[in-house]
Amino acid sequence: MNKTQIVWSDEEKAVMSPRLLDWYDQEMRLLPWRENTDPYRVWVSEIMLQQTQVVTVIPYFHRFLDWFPTIKDLAEAEEDRLLKAWEGLGYYSRVRNMQSAAQDIMERFGGKMPSNIEDILSLKGIGPYTGGAIGSIAYKLVEPAIDGNVMRVYSRLFCLGDDIGEAKSRKVFDEKVRETMSQERPGDFNQALMDLGATVCTPTSPKCEICPLKEMCGALSRDQTTDFPVKKKKIKTVPMFYVALAVQNDKEEYLLNKRPEDGLLANMWTFPLVEVSKSVYTQMAQDWQNYQQDTKEPNLFDFVAEEDVSLLDDSLIGLLNEEQPDVIWQKQPIGEVKHVFSHRKWHLLLAKGFTRVEKELKLKENEQWVHVEDFDSFVFPKPQQKMVVILDEKRNK
DNA sequence: AATGCGGGGTT
DNA sequence: AACCCAGCATT
């Protein structure tokens, strides 16, 4: 197989950006953040678009600008409100970093996004990609904005075999884009590349027949489009196993637990989670399956009698009783949730219980009783949202 | 250079 | 269930 890179003459380089821009002028996607090139709007959209698809971002973008219309509003926002605006988008440090940058902009740049690349890149959460996007779109700076789309397009155009997952490959793509990008319309050029990568030069089954650059694509001419881009590293997701405790008191409030301020899903709320081993989890899940097959009925009101609790040390109830002795637990889980993060996979068995009316449950510092009607004012990550859906379904049975 | 950090899609 | 998509900060 031919693994040599393609080299373009100056004439070929000069042809590329006009073709791409002509295509963009015809086919550009009409997106909310393209209505104008206000730096703040560009910034918000580019941060949201990191690792996130356009269709997902659109509603968040509107709401975010509604809640925080200016950099000043963002700088002064409550952390909780900020997180709420990002709820469900993922990578929550993005919005914390954005607020930190907004405060920085208020102090250092009088509340206005700086217009030179060095100052833009000095802001927290703005790296080479986002800096290039803001600089080129909002200020017409001739800076590349190289994301996964662009690396895919260029790896195919030039048959670049550099592993896109390695930091040192960045330089290779940076040089190629700088050699070919439009000096007159850098922002449109960068956006055109992203559109091309998203709609034509897609990861699987690219639509080469409609590509404006098909005559100059090395990978296509060699019938190697599926060989690019090259990426070797595989991400391993570590499985984690939990029992989630949905405890209700006599006011029908649920116990919620606020996660630590560092790490995964920082400062977000879930039902209390008890980590269990894989073997314990598997056994519980198996018991539950058997139970469902035996009874063929909802287990909604099937509680463990108080006098039996001590006999059930190895069961779900045994574990729950150890965790929360002042709760009456249902015999079996009421649902299972699985959720994949970037580096972890959570397996959750949802257990439901009620506090004994005569006993006061001791709350930890980070715990609170909350009625379902007030769930909206708490920031829930996806696994928690999935568990709430299960509770909802069971309630309506 | 390696790791942590969410959530979505398709096959 | 197993595969794909992947910027930036921190260490």
A2 located within any domain? no
How much is the pTM? 0.92
CATH no. for residue A302? 3.90.79.10
Amino acid type, A108? R
CA of A144 vs C1' of C11, distance in Å? 28
Nucleotides on chain B within 7 angstroms of protein Cβ: 1-2, 4-11
Catalytic residue among A12, A46, A76, A175: A46
- A52 CB contact with strand C at below 7 Å: no
Q: If you search the block for the tokens 């950099």, which residue do you land on?
A: A71
Check: CB of residue A182 under 8 Å from CB of residue A188.
Answer: yes
CB < 7 A from strand B, the residues are A 51-53, 55-56, 88-93, 166-168, 204-205, 262-266, 339-343, 381-383
- CA of A339 and C1' of C5: distance in angstroms? 17
Active site residue A175: no
**Is position A179 within any domain?**
yes
CATH of the domain at A79: 1.10.340.30
CA A292 to chain centre: 35
Do A161 and A33 lie in a common domain? Answer: yes
Chain C bases closer than 7 A to any CB of the protein: 1, 3-9
Please indicate, yes or no, if residue A232 is contained in any of the structural domains.
no
Which nucleotide is closest to A202, CA to C1'?
C5
Structure tokens at A294: 């035996």
- Per the structure, the complete domain to which residue A268 belongs is given by 238-395
Residue A286 sits in the same domain as residue A146: no
Shortest-distance nucleotide from A169 CA to C1': B1
Q: Which two tokens stand for residue A182?
A: 């439009």
Same domain, A176 and A259: no
Closest CA to A335 of A285, A278, A271, A385: A285
Residues A270, A199 share a domain: no
* A15 CA, B11 C1': Å apart: 37
Cα gap A274→A205, rounded to integer Å: 43
Determine the Cα–Cα distance for residues A135 and A190; give it in Å rounded to an integer: 11
Q: What is the pLDDT along chain A (397 residues), one digit of tens a residue?
A: 677 899 999 999 999 999 999 999 999 999 999 999 999 999 999 999 998 999 999 999 999 999 999 999 999 999 999 999 999 999 999 999 999 999 999 999 999 999 999 999 999 999 999 999 999 999 999 999 999 999 999 999 999 999 998 889 999 999 999 999 999 999 999 999 999 999 999 999 999 999 999 999 999 999 999 999 998 877 788 999 999 999 999 899 999 999 999 999 999 999 999 999 999 899 889 888 888 877 655 544 455 555 444 444 456 777 777 888 888 888 788 899 999 998 999 999 999 988 877 677 788 899 999 999 999 999 999 999 999 999 998 875 5
Contact A246, A254 (CB under 8 A): yes
- Cβ neighbours, 10 Å, residue A241: 20
